Structures are given as C-alpha cells and as structure tokens.
Amino acid sequence: MESDIRRLESHVREGLVAFIGDSPETVLAIHALQSGLGRVWTSGPSDDLRAVIVESALVPGEPQGFGDPASLLDLLARAEGWRCIELNPDVADDITDDFERRWGIASRVIDVVHISRQCPRVEGHPRVRPLRVPDLSRLSVASDDVFPGRRVVEGAAARGRVFVAIDGDSIVGHGSSFAASGTYADIGVYVAASHRGQGIATSAAALACEAVRADGLTPVWGTGSDNQGSLGVAAKLGFLEVARLVFLVPVGR
C-alpha cells in the first residue's frame, strides 16, 4: 500500500517508526514519518508489518527499505518514481539477483554513516552566519540545488539549524540540519563550485553540529564512500563511521 505520510493517522506513523527503529542510519526515514514529508509503502497489516519503504521529501526518488527482502521487492514493483533503493548491506546482498532480474544490472553505491559525539572547535569563516527566516525573502541562491523546499528551510532556520555563506546578496553555501529524529540530526552541506576550498563547508557544518547538539541530538553525517571532499570535512569535524548502507541503482533507470 502506498500512502502520502501526511494522510496517515498518528498511531500508524508511530507503528512505522517502531518497526524501523531510531538509529543513525534511519534519521531521514524517521523524520519523514514524523514530519509527514514524504511517501511510504507498506507490506502487511499495521500490527504485523513485513516490509516498509520510506521516501523522504528531502531526497525524492531515493527511498529506504526495511524488513523482509522478498516483500521489499514486491513493494518496489508497485512503487512509482524511484531511481534507487537504499538498504542494509545484508538485505542488499539477499535481493540483488532478483532485483537485477526485474530491473536490469544495478550498480552499488556505498553510503557511509558517521556520528559525532564531540565536535572540535573550528575557526569561524567571515562569510558564514545563521540564516534567519526573513533572509529568505531578500537573498538569492547560487543554484536551485542549494536548498530543499522553502517550507523545510524555514522550519530549520526557525530552529536555528541553518548556517549560510553569503557573497553579496547570494547564498553560496550552507551547513544545516533539515531532518532529525528523537535522537539524531542529519547534517548536510552544500557549497557552490566557485566558493569551494575556502573552509566554508567545515565552518558552516561545525555550527550546525553545535546547534543540534545544544538541542540534545547527536549529529549524523552520511556520504558516498567515493566522496573524498565530504569524507574529509567529516574527519575534520570529528565524525566517526558507525555503519554503511547500500544503494542499488538500476543502470539506465
């Protein structure tokens, strides 16, 4: 069954959160369920779930699957609009052969999940400062992929979890937390190509880490295993690897 998460009753959402579990690997899925920002597919009755797929509105087309491998494949066959599926490595190994029989050869992209218990002090950057909600009306962005939707950005800015680099009247980078569970907060960064290599990502992400930690949350950093720039920033900020997930990406889909 597919559902817009916003249409689910609260007890159903709570059951899905309990099925998935709150961990560094699940922060985006848990946030989607708790905020209503996303879609979900389920297999089995609510009191006896077999599998769940959650697509966060923050990463459309990149859902995460949980539960019985065979049931996950059946859910994927009914789902629309996905480009890949993120899975626990053991589940990915179990379904790869059947997955490729249905959707063709799949590449495997490794998502390295980190947490930070204590962020080292990072020197501030002169261009980086907190984003206030009124700023969104007067500042432009360097490109369309800087931020997710305005509603999400406004909510995070109101919580003091968005830190931006500004050049003139343009936002050229940020370090922010747009998704959190009851325990963890995802940290994301973006810097325009023209402003990379200046320490913006490290400075902004450090501030975002401090902000979520002040709210009692543990910062989480997820990045591809081949993204050396992101891995380098994570290391500077004291993040330690705690898990790996696998994206199965059908070639040519």
Tokens matching residue 108? 């495997």
202 pLDDT band (50/70/90 cuts)?
very high
Name the percent of the chain lying above pLDDT 90.
84
pLDDT at 253 over 70: no
Residues paired with residue 185 on neighbouring β-strands, in sequence order: 180, 219
pLDDT at 12 over 90: yes
pLDDT at 2 over 70: no
| Contact present, 52 and 30 (Cβ < 8 Å) | no
pLDDT of residue 124: 87
142 pLDDT band (50/70/90 cuts)?
confident
Q: Which class is 128-237 in CATH?
A: alpha beta
Say if domain 2-110 classifies as CATH 2.30.30.
Answer: no
pLDDT at 36 over 80: yes
Q: Look up residue 3 and give its amino acid.
A: S
Mapped onto helix, strand or coil, the DSSP state of residue 129 is strand
pLDDT at 33 over 80: yes
**What is the distance between the alpha carbons of residues 6 and 25, in angstroms, rounded to a whole number?**
22
**What is the distance between the alpha carbons of residues 62 and 82, in angstroms, rounded to a whole number?**
6
146 pLDDT band (50/70/90 cuts)?
confident
1 pLDDT band (50/70/90 cuts)?
low
The DSSP result for 11-27, as a single string, is: HHHHHHHHHH--SGGGH
pLDDT at 4 over 80: yes
Common-topology check for domains 2-110 and 128-237 = yes
The DSSP result for 145-179, as a single string, is: TSSS-HHHHHHHHHTT-EEEEEETTEEEEEEEEEE
Rounded average pLDDT over 213-239: 95
Tens-digit pLDDT profile for residues 96-123: 999 999 999 999 999 999 999 887 778 8
Domain ranges within the chain, ordered by starting residue:
2-110, 128-237
Torsion sign over Cα 135, 140, 146, 151: positive
pLDDT of residue 149: 81
Write down the mean pLDDT value for the chain: 94
| Contact present, 204 and 175 (Cβ < 8 Å) | yes
